[in-house]
């Protein structure tokens, strides 16, 4: 492990594991997980802003760049056991990279179907994993239809980016790691919502470890707020289009399971503006030297925008809180130039 940078505001709360050295080699044992145990770090900078201890669950260091490898890796391993000969996945990027990574580890070919606006760096990464890349449609929903069509071929299996029981099972591993690292439950858990797979998995994990009383602050950006819209309507809602810059949150309809979770746990749905999410990305980069996507910035904006304090002031969250865990979900569709372009775009709108 490399040494922390001088002046870092972190200390490691839990063990930083890599779940076995074989994960770095093609052809690793199929019984092993493809995700790694990620560090849980206490952030001095975010704790100062929030007025409460803030822990960062750093999913950005997963081998496929985001938390997606937990659920998708688990799904791919299970279908491989049942004879899958070709994986196909529709994705705005992160799920596709996770599927391609898992396919390479399993020795199975993969086809990844992406919206036409996907960044060149994501396409290059997918091709580097050995996957065939097809660009179809303007949004994820259109790419998903193409993936479903391809999956009708004999031996092909469609890897849904977020809406499957096996994917939620895989994501639940994140909460088991939190329990091992913290011991006692945090006062709240913050995560971003796109299609709802992470929310469904974390909800399952909280129930599994007996932490179902921990409130989840589930955050979306306006223009990709299908979960919030569904809660307000009391049913699934399909957004007419995705207008947010947080393209990784760009499912027009949330998974039905995510909506069901609101009946089982305390879930606080909040919507932030794109400018707040991108500002959080910049501040997080300055504070912690970590660059993440606007989708992840939506979760970080709970701290940076003062939303956490507002929820406490409104009595929707306990005050004081024992601690807050923010899931730094990661993301592959960002670089320094992309961040500057987003800031310029939002300053002109």
Note whether 58 and 36 are within 8 A (CB): no
pTM: 0.89
Note whether 139 and 118 are within 8 A (CB): no
Confidence (pLDDT) at 24? 36
- Phi and psi (nearest 5°) for 3? -75, 150
Assign residue 241 a region (left: φ > 0; alpha: ψ between -120 and 50; beta: otherwise).
beta
Confidence (pLDDT) at 31? 57
Confidence (pLDDT) at 144? 86
- Cross-strand pairs, 57: 40, 327
Note whether 103 and 110 are within 8 A (CB): yes
pLDDT along the chain (349 residues), means of 10: 40 41 38 92 98 98 96 98 96 87 97 87 89 90 90 96 96 98 98 96 98 98 96 96 85 94 98 97 97 96 98 95 96 90 90
Confidence (pLDDT) at 20? 33
Confidence (pLDDT) at 186? 98
CA-to-CA distance for 279 and 274, rounded, in angstroms? 8
CA-to-CA distance for 111 and 178, rounded, in angstroms? 33
- Cross-strand pairs, 218: 191, 269
What 3-state class would DSSP assign to 293? Answer: coil
3 DSSP 8-state letter: P
């Amino acid at each position: 492990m490399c040494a922390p940078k001088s002046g870092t505001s972190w200390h490691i709360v839990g063990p930083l594991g890599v779940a076995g050295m074989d994960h770095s080699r093609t052809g690793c044992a199929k019984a092993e997980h493809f995700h790694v145990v990620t560090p849980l770090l206490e952030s001095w900078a975010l704790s100062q802003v929030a007025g409460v201890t803030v822990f960062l669950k750093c999913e950005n260091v997963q081998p496929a760049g985001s938390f997606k490898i937990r659920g998708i890796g688990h799904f791919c391993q299970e279908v491989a056991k049942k004879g899958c000969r070709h994986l196909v996945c529709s994705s705005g990027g992160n799920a596709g990279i996770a599927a391609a990574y898992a396919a390479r580890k399993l020795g199975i070919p993969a086809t990844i179907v992406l919206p036409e606006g996907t960044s060149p760096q994501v396409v290059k990464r997918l091709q580097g994993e050995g996957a065939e890349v097809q660009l179809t449609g303007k949004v994820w929903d259109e790419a998903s239809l193409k993936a479903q069509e391809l999956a009708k071929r004999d031996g092909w299996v469609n890897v849904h980016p977020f809406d499957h029981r096996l994917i939620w099972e895989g994501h639940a591993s994140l909460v088991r790691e939190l329990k091992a690292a913290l011991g006692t439950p945090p006062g709240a858990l913050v995560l971003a919502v796109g299609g709802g797979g992470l929310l469904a998995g974390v909800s399952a994990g909280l129930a599994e470890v007996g932490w179902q009383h921990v409130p989840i602050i589930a955050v979306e950006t306006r223009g990709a707020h299908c979960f919030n819209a569904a809660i307000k309507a009391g049913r699934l809602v399909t957004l007419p289009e995705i207008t947010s810059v947080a393209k990784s949150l760009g499912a027009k309809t949330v998974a039905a399971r995510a909506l069901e979770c609101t009946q089982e746990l305390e879930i606080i749905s909040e919507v932030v503006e794109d400018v707040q999410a991108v500002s959080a990305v910049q501040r997080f980069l300055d504070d912690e030297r970590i660059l993440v996507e606007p989708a992840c910035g939506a979760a970080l904006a709970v701290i940076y925008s003062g939303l956490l304090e507002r929820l406490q002031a409104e009595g929707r969250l306990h005050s004081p809180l024992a601690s807050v865990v923010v899931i730094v979900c990661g993301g592959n569709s960002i670089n320094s130039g992309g961040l500057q372009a987003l800031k310029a775009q939002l300053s002109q709108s």
